[in-house]
Amino acid sequence: MFLTDRQTKIVELAKTTGRVLVDDLALQFSVTPQTIRKDLNDLCNAQLLTRVHGGATFPRGTENVRYDARRQIAAAEKQAIGIAAAELIPDNASLFINIGTTTEAVGEALIHHHELMVITNNINVANRLRLLDDIEVVIAGGVVRQSDGGIVGEAAVDFIRQFKVDYAVIGASAIDPDGALLDYDFREVKVAQAIIANARHVILVADSTKFERTAPVRIGQIPQVQTFITDRCDSPSIRDICRQSGVVLVETSKPER
């Protein structure tokens, strides 16, 4: 396929950010949304992008989007998810917070809580919460990933297993229609599995773009969590899994019909 200059730039944007939106592209390139939709359809027909509601994603199944770009994807949705998750966590509680930009949004929303013990393998969460008098921060040891400040490896797993906490906040890089929670780094997955096994109430936080992505390593299944918070869930299969397994599904914005 011959790519126009605009189409080439669209692919590069999608590769950098993971997702591009019709309205944003139309504004950026000063063309109509119909023109962008045609560009995206052409690029998807050539299997360079994957069409999703309102835009397209860059298809990658073995490599995650860069950390800085992930922070920008669905930023407002992640903030709302973080607030909703924080509302479920009472004062005087102990909790795990795992690696991820959405879990970081939960950490940010906890700043007004009191008497919390937060155990985390996320340096970004630790740096934010350590400044607060009412929150005790305990950080895992292990290998620090340069890409995002996540602490992974067997040392982190062994550290997590020392605790049994009231709540855990975990994320996922992708969610399959069969309810599988997926990630890219098997070392991170082992830590997430230890967190799930050592918490009384597991809160999964993931924005709706995670339904559109794939990743190669299985963390677990949705029925292993007690609460799933997302901005919107348009997947009938995921809704059925939540209902059948007693998982509370919380949507921070109403799905479009």
Q: DSSP assignment of 221-246, as one string?
A: EGGG-SEEEES----HHHHHHHHHHT
At residue 256, the pLDDT reads 47
User: Number of structural domains, the chain?
Assistant: 2
| Residue closest to 174 by CA, chosen among 73, 85, 40 | 73
Q: Residue 231: pLDDT above 70?
A: yes
Instruction: Verify that 116 and 92 share a domain, yes or no.
Output: yes
Q: What is the CATH number of the domain that holds 140?
A: 3.40.50.1360
Instruction: Verify that 75 and 193 share a domain, yes or no.
Output: yes
Confidence of residue 138 (pLDDT cuts 50, 70, 90): very high
Tell me whether residue 123 is exposed, middle or buried, using C-beta atoms within 10 angstroms of its C-beta: 0 to 12, 13 to 18, 19 or more: middle
At residue 26, the pLDDT reads 95
Q: Residue 257: pLDDT above 50?
A: no
- Give a yes or no: residue 256 inside a domain: no
At residue 151, the pLDDT reads 93
Instruction: Verify that 189 and 231 share a domain, yes or no.
Output: yes
Instruction: Verify that 103 and 46 share a domain, yes or no.
Output: no
| Residue closest to 53 by CA, chosen among 211, 179, 229 | 211
At residue 215, the pLDDT reads 87
CA separation for the pair 51, 151 (Å, rounded): 34
| Residue closest to 108 by CA, chosen among 90, 81, 133 | 81
Q: Residue 65: pLDDT above 80?
A: no
Instruction: Verify that 151 and 179 share a domain, yes or no.
Output: yes
At residue 53, the pLDDT reads 87
- Give a yes or no: residue 257 inside a domain: no
- Give a yes or no: residue 146 inside a domain: yes
What is the distance of C-alpha 27 from the center of its chain?
27
- Give a yes or no: residue 15 inside a domain: yes
Confidence of residue 163 (pLDDT cuts 50, 70, 90): very high
Q: Which domain covers residue 15, as residue numbers?
A: 5-59
Count of all residues that appear for the chain in the document: 257
Instruction: Verify that 99 and 198 share a domain, yes or no.
Output: yes
Instruction: Verify that 150 and 240 share a domain, yes or no.
Output: yes
Mean per-residue pLDDT of the chain: 91
Instruction: Verify that 49 and 81 share a domain, yes or no.
Output: no
